[in-house]
Amino acid sequence: MKILAKFEDLSIGVIEPKYEINLGYIARVSGNFGLDKIYLVNPKLDIEKAKVFASHASHLLDKAIILDFKSLIKSFDLVIATTGIEVKRTSRIKALELEDFVKIFPDLSSNLILILGRDTTGLTREELNKCDLLLHICTKSNYESLNISHALAIILYELSKIKGKKVERPPNRREKEVLINLALELAKKSNYPHYKLPLLERSLKNLLSKSSDFREVSLLLGLFRRALRIIKSLNSKDKACI
């Protein structure tokens, strides 16, 4: 399904910001591109001091929402993490170079957030694995780690170019959960070995984390629902014959 991208609906999340100058510039860059929602996870700085660097976007820090990482993840349907990890070295989560991410830029009305890691250490492996997509900016050098405010500026500049363009919507977390539940239900009804169900669930989660097209998930949802209806119908006929 083709939908209209809404760049201005994008939220920005910052994990444990440590330096006032970086947070201030993040607010300033967000304001430059018309964004107005910033979420902070366990900030380790003086937000009032960060406002000095935010210039005319200091109001974004006044209304910034502070929460923990778990609550942040649960608040959004699609979580995009920025990482200095090269795409080819990341296997569990769908990882994209910036130019590829721009091509599949999702419908931001579907409740999406872009997460920036810590000023010095970025995101932990555990945190990365809880996100839906990883976004990597290739610097064309051996020194890949960008300042988080600089990374945000580059990302927003590239995304702003496609305002109003029609793009394919990626599946959100709820749709993935429904698909996994249907697959597990189908497995149980087809006498799939019970001890293999946890492994099947993990495999499905890994597979879906690499899908960026809702149409793929939609096709599987339709297939699994149809299969379950047929099984239910056959079971009803068998009971009627007894």
Q: What is the pLDDT of residues 162-199, one digit of tens each?
A: 755 555 667 777 888 899 999 999 999 888 899 999 99
Helix (H) or strand (E) holding 97: strand 94-97
- Domain end among 136, 168, 200: 168
Strand partners, 11: 113
150 and 196 together in one domain: no
pLDDT of residue 239: 62
114 and 198 together in one domain: no
- Domain end among 120, 140, 168: 168
92 and 33 together in one domain: yes
220 and 162 together in one domain: no
Task: Give the number of residues written for the chain.
Answer: 242
81 and 136 together in one domain: yes
Could you tell me the sign of the dihedral formed by the alpha carbons of 113, 87, 106, 131, in that order? negative
Q: What is the pLDDT of residues 53-79, one digit of tens each?
A: 999 999 999 999 999 999 999 998 888
Q: What is the pLDDT of residues 205-219, one digit of tens each?
A: 878 876 667 778 888
The CATH number of the domain holding residue 75 is 3.40.1280.10
- Domain end among 168, 190, 216: 168
Of 207, 204, 102, nearest to 163 by C-alpha is 102
Number of structural domains, the chain?
A: 2
Let me know: does 123 contact 115? Beta carbons within 8 Å. yes
145 and 187 together in one domain: no
Task: Report the alpha-carbon distance of residue 184 to residue 199 in Å, rounded.
Answer: 11
Is pLDDT at 236 greater than 50 in this prediction? Answer: yes
27 and 147 together in one domain: yes
Helices (H) and strands (E) counted in the chain, each on its own, are: 10, 9
Would you call 15 exposed, middle or buried from its count of C-beta atoms within 10 A (0-12, 13-18, 19+)?
buried
Tokens of 20: 């006032």
57 and 70 together in one domain: yes
27 and 46 together in one domain: yes
Lowest mean pLDDT among 9-13, 44-48, 135-139, 165-169: 165-169
Whole domain around residue 86: which residue ranges? 2-168
Q: What is the DSSP string of 135-161?
A: EE---SSS--PPPHHHHHHHHHHHHHT
Task: Report the alpha-carbon distance of residue 192 to residue 208 in Å, rounded.
Answer: 20
Let me know: does 27 contact 50? Beta carbons within 8 Å. yes
11 and 70 together in one domain: yes
Strand partners, 39: 13, 65
163 and 143 together in one domain: yes
| pLDDT tier, 237 (very low <50, low <70, confident <90, very high otherwise) | low
Strands 38-41 and 65-67: parallel
Task: Calculate the CA dihedral of residues 37, 41, 44, 49 and round it to 10 degrees.
Answer: 10
The residue assigned the tokens 């608040």 is 75
19 and 107 together in one domain: yes
